[in-house]
Amino acid sequence: MGAVRRRSRSGNGAGVRENAAGFTGGSGPVGVLLCHGITGSPFSLRTFAEHLVEAGCRVALPLLPGHGTSWQQLSRTSWEDWFAVADGAFRALRRECDEVFVAGLSMGGALALRLAQVHGSDVRGIVLVNPSIGTADKRFLFLPLLSRVIPSLAGITDDIAKPGVTEHGYDRVPLRAVASMMELWAKVRVDLPKVEQPILMFRSETDHVVDPTSARLIHHKVASSEVTERLLTRSFHVATLDYDAEDIFTESVDFIERHSALREGSPPAPIEASDE
């Protein structure tokens, strides 16, 4: 069966930056939805997506609304907009596949967990890379108020140990979008006991964006019988573009194979994919 070609609504309209387009590819009965982080872009997960396609998965990596254009557009969106696109991509995969996994980087990890909470057993498993669902930084308590008077602050992209690598994100972070992300955090934290799926979580020992609070909350609050945490010692926050990337890709495929029919499935499809 040929590779899937599909376009999903990103909510951005025209003017998507080069290297920021969404991605769909692959075929077969096992699907994987990948979600990128706030102010980032699908580029941060593109190589991961291609690796999953080579392993035989059908993959969707949508561009979330407000991303891939300008931070001002991101400021006009909310977590509900981001979730709506992720949810639509998940539902499309679920119609096409027997089993679907969700994965996310940073804020994309919060979206992946929310999908697991909403869709229950329709989500077969969860892969998280430096997930963001909270922080110990007390300054965030003032951010919703601050967002009313200060539009943006310096960006949080490109926290990568490997020299010369970029994730093609924004150089400014809109505070209204961060305040909305905090609303998503709150919803995800409240419903963590609803998460029963197996989890593979990668956490960078040195992360200048997300502190260990999120990983601790996930460990202590989910109802999953299997939560495996892998500590990454060579990579910073955007680990999917960093020194440990290949380990993340390989171990994620092993995790998906252990929890699905991928190992017994069709031979891997060539990477014939569509940029969205």
Which residues belong to the active site? 106, 207, 237
DSSP-derived secondary structure for 61-99: EPPPTT-SS-HHHHHT--HHHHHHHHHHHHHHHHHH-SE
In whole angstroms, what is the distance from residue 179 CA to residue 75 CA? 10
Give me 258's structure tokens. Answer: 């252990």
Of 197, 192, 199, whose CA–CA distance to 252 is shortest? 199
Mapped onto helix, strand or coil, the DSSP state of residue 218 is: helix
Taking phi first (over 0 means left), then psi (-120 to 50 degrees means alpha), and beta for anything else, what does residue 9 get?
beta
CB 61 within 8 A of CB 29: no
Say which amino acid occupies 24.
T
Which residues are CB-contacts of 231 (< 8 A; sequence separation ≥ 6)? 203, 204, 205
Helices (H) and strands (E) in the chain, counts: 8, 10
Across-strand partners of 199?
126, 227
| Dist. CA 181–CA 8, nearest whole Å | 22
